[in-house]
Amino acid sequence: MQVPLYQAKAEFFRMLGHPVRIRVLELLQDGPRPVRELLNAMEIEPSSLSQQLAVLRRSGIVSATRTGSTVVYELAGGDVAELLRAARRILTDLLTGQQDLLTELKQSEGGAAVRAGGGTGGGA
């Protein structure tokens, strides 16, 4: 039985739903990196990184090659990098919109406070 596309997408996004995995993918956008570089950039325990790399590898999003004792990871395709860029654009737009809304609210509250206080130089 085939899994509906929407369900497969949900599982895909669930797999991406870990901060360490997202950070690994961001780092790999710049090209292949050995595990030691990933560890230095992320400052997490090797076992945690290994776990998350295994999830990404099983999903087919990253691939690994071994040369001697060095394991190098890279994105399996450019589409993941494009997805991360799209997510950045979406989040930037959302955060900018939220910041604009907060600024508007603060400005309207400031105007309301001046009106409630009777303006300048008021007295009865």
Answer positive or negative: Cα dihedral of 58, 59, 60, 65: negative
The C-alpha atoms of residue 7 and residue 59 are separated, in whole angstroms, by 15
Is residue 39 a contact partner of residue 49, using CB atoms and an 8 Å limit? yes
Buried (b) or exposed (e) across 11-30, using 16+ Cβ within 10 A? eeeeebeeebbebbbebbee
For residue 60, being part of any structural domain is answered with yes
For residue 115, being part of any structural domain is answered with no
Q: Mean pLDDT by 10-residue block, N- to C-terminus, for the chain (124 residues)?
A: 90 92 95 96 95 95 95 91 90 88 85 56 50
For residue 86, being part of any structural domain is answered with no
The C-alpha atoms of residue 89 and residue 26 are separated, in whole angstroms, by 14
Structural domain count of the chain: 1
For residue 44, being part of any structural domain is answered with yes
Is residue 33 a contact partner of residue 72, using CB atoms and an 8 Å limit? yes
For residue 22, being part of any structural domain is answered with yes
For residue 90, being part of any structural domain is answered with no
pTM: 0.74
For residue 114, being part of any structural domain is answered with no
Burial degree of 75 (CB within 10 A; 0-12, 13-18, 19+): buried
- Short-list 57, 86, 107, CA closest to 66: 57
CATH of the domain at 37: 1.10.10.10
For residue 89, being part of any structural domain is answered with no
| Domain encompassing residue 16 | 5-78
pLDDT of residue 117: 58
